[in-house]
Structure 1
Amino acid sequence: MVTGQSFMMFVVLLFTCAFAFLNGFRDASNSIAVAVRNRALTPNYAVLVAAFFTFLGTMLSTSFGVYLISAVELNVPSGVPGLALLLSALLAGGAWALYCWWRGLPVSSTHSLVSALAGAGGASALLGDDGVHDAWRMLAGGVLLPLLFTPVFAFVVSYVLVIPATWLVRHSTASDVSGASRAGQSISACAVALGNGLQDGQRTGAMLTLALVTAGAAQPGTIMLGPQLLGASALAAGVLFGGWRIAHTLAYRLVNLDPLRGMVAQSVSAAMLFLGAMLIHLPISTTQAVTSSIVGAGTNQRFESVTWRQVKRVLRHWVATPVVCSLLGGILSLAIHPLVS
């Protein structure tokens, strides 16, 4: 016999997979947009490669223990109240991510989800439940700190690395530089997809595991292969469908990049994702790392190649993400509470 708690658990698992699919659908452009624009990869091959390496990165992420649960000390109430809180966060974060995809805006799915969790947890606490322990700490460590660190670091490092890169090829012909840069960009695109799996994939597995723990179907602190495999499959499936709206923004609306600068930008993005996942255990946004690296590398050119009006538009939505998702998560939590209490 299926109980109300079991039903809620299956609903949360379903919506977590849907969020992972949407995450992959939106973030497919992060690793392949510039590579496709510079003809380093064909669109169909690029999507297949990105899906494979995203899946691989998600499965490898369990080796580094960078689960969202341990990273931000996320603890939710047990039973139906906790599952309702997770569902509210998934609906809020997914709605904002879907809206921004429709507008062609690259925003962080991770920041959307963590902000919505914090908002839903705050609303749950107001209603007398346990809520999310250290919700504000989670918001600060999982969203606000990376929001300040990632764009600035990616922009500066990409801008600076263009200088030695152009100096090294100063005596080469334009065709030789473009050919070598496209080859390097193909490799760096795969690296970004792998880093995306390490970062976003492990958080999908964490949410699936957390739903099972909240429902009492798993023990806290366990790393389960099943949820990780399910999350990896959902994320990779989303990548296969490829959300080209955001790819068009990254490759055509923000910056006009040559292959050399595109290779620099993607290499910096991949390095940041690897370091964040394996060394400093910081949830780095793939979207923000890639976008900021592209703008940084594109700024270091003799001619004006950056459309700053579009960049400012993207930045406004990055800043709005924690505010909107926190409020939306709290409102949905308050709305769902009477239905499950």
Structure 2
Amino acid sequence: MPNIEAVVFAVVFLALAFDYINGFHDTANAVATSVSTRAIAPNHAVMLAAVMNFVGALSGTAVAKTIGSDIANPAAVTLSVILAALVGAIFWNLLTWYYGIPSSSSHALIGGVIGAVVAGQGLAALKWAGVKKIVFILIASPIIGLVVGFFMMNALWWLSRKQTPGRVNQRYLRLQILAATAAAFSHGSNDAQKSMGIITMALFSTGMIATFEVPKWTIFACALAMALGTAVGGWKIIRTMGGRIVKLEPINGFAADLSSAMVIYGASLFGMPVSTTHVVSSCIMGVGSAKRISAVRWVVAKRIVTAWIFTIPASAAVAALFYVAIHRLIGI
């Protein structure tokens, strides 16, 4: 029987590694549009995203509690389950990052948890009400992002209807930096909390904490890991998000960033784990659709949606396979 503290340390290490990978995998969420429209230099944009991801990660723990307590019954959450869930999510994130596919770190982690729990304890161990709620918001949030982006873009065009295109672009080139700041903050407020929930789940399941409350050191560590990962940057996905879905002007970039910030932070306030990647890309599609349907490169959009659909089952399958190996190795 391995040392429990050593296994928990491994869980913490992998959770922070997931946050770090999430940071460079999802840097595009906050800076792609600003880089694409040249509102800000790429290196400056990444540093801005890193700082605001860190600040956003300190803003609450509602999402962490949802991830840690609403997916599976506490008795089913063993250390083998948690380790397998993290390995499955990390594997899928690295694979999609390598191919430049803006998939969802949230879907990967939730799929990993579901796959590991089912492999270890069976379907009955899942909290189906919680799983349905989480899956519903993961599906609904991109649709909401598409609608909000569409109407935001139309509203901005109406407000700018009496101005020349040159003046409009110049104004929104500056405002876009503020919108990117808000988008980065919202990204940190939602995504960093998912690893917080996983670490807290491990601490609670082993009796190291008496109640499911996220420790302060966990909040700080996850915020720092995501910020450091963001500082590394994810340039392959930035190219996909920034220019291959829709050709963006500064007003389009501002609309997309502001829309995604509103949807993501709203979800964070209600403890809803959304895919920031899905919300941002759907907001970009909504903004492009406001101009004309053909403005969206639907071939690229189809590739992204395909990744959305396959992420949960793929990461769940990988996590289930790793569970078998990890459980045999450590036996807990």
- What does residue range 41-120 of structure 1 map to in structure 2 within 5 Å? 41-62=40-61, 67-69=65-67, 72=70, 74-77=72-75, 82-120=78-116
Aligned partner of 2:96: which letter? C
Deviations 1:16-39 (A, max 9, x none): 111000000111110000011111
Contact 1:121 1:135 (C-alpha < 8 Å) held by counterparts: no
- CA RMSD in angstroms comes to 2.0
Aligned partner (choices 285, 288, 291) of residue 301 of structure 1: 291
Distance in 1, matches of 2:278 and 2:131, equals: 17
Deviations 1:140-162 (A, max 9, x none): 322x2123201211112211222
1:223 is aligned to 214
Distance in 2, matches of 1:311 and 1:303, equals: 12
1:148 is aligned to 139
Aligned length: 331
1:11 is aligned to 10
Aligned partner of 2:34: which letter? A
Where does structure 2 lack aligned partners over 5 or more consecutive residues?
A: none
Aligned partner of 2:133: which letter? G
1:185 is aligned to 176
1:244 positional shift: 0.7
Contact 1:158 1:265 (C-alpha < 8 Å) held by counterparts: yes
- What does residue range 127-166 of structure 1 map to in structure 2 within 5 Å? 133-142=125-134, 144-166=135-157
Contact 2:199 2:218 (C-alpha < 8 Å) held by counterparts: yes
Deviations 1:167-223 (A, max 9, x none): 211111222111211122111111111111110112222222222222332222223
1:4–1:45 distance in 2 versus 1, CA, 3 Å:
same
For structure 1, which segment, 147-156 or 294-303, has the greater mean C-alpha deviation from structure 2 after superposition?
Answer: 294-303
1:299–1:231 distance in 2 versus 1, CA, 3 Å:
same
User: Aligned pair 1:276/2:275, yes or no?
Assistant: no
1:51–1:310 distance in 2 versus 1, CA, 3 Å:
same
SS at structure 1 position matched to 2:307:
helix
Contact 2:21 2:229 (C-alpha < 8 Å) held by counterparts: yes
Aligned partner of 2:289: which letter? T
Q: Give TM-score scaled by structure 1 length.
A: 0.91
SS at structure 2 position matched to 1:157:
helix
1:132–1:40 distance in 2 versus 1, CA, 3 Å:
farther
For structure 1, which segment, 234-243 or 67-76, has the greater mean C-alpha deviation from structure 2 after superposition?
Answer: 67-76
For structure 1, which segment, 215-224 or 289-298, has the greater mean C-alpha deviation from structure 2 after superposition?
Answer: 215-224
1:137 positional shift: 4.0
User: Aligned pair 1:168/2:167, yes or no?
Assistant: no
1:256–1:157 distance in 2 versus 1, CA, 3 Å:
same
User: Aligned pair 1:332/2:322, yes or no?
Assistant: yes
Where does structure 1 lack aligned partners over 5 or more consecutive residues?
A: none
Contact 1:117 1:329 (C-alpha < 8 Å) held by counterparts: yes
SS at structure 2 position matched to 1:250:
helix
2:22 is aligned to 23
Aligned partner of 2:279: which letter? A
What percent of counterpart residues are identical? 30
Contact 1:29 1:243 (C-alpha < 8 Å) held by counterparts: yes
1:224 positional shift: 0.9
Aligned partner of 2:54: which letter? F
User: Aligned pair 1:319/2:317, yes or no?
Assistant: no
1:4–1:303 distance in 2 versus 1, CA, 3 Å:
closer
Aligned partner of 2:152: which letter? L
2:223 is aligned to 232
Q: Give TM-score scaled by structure 2 length.
A: 0.93
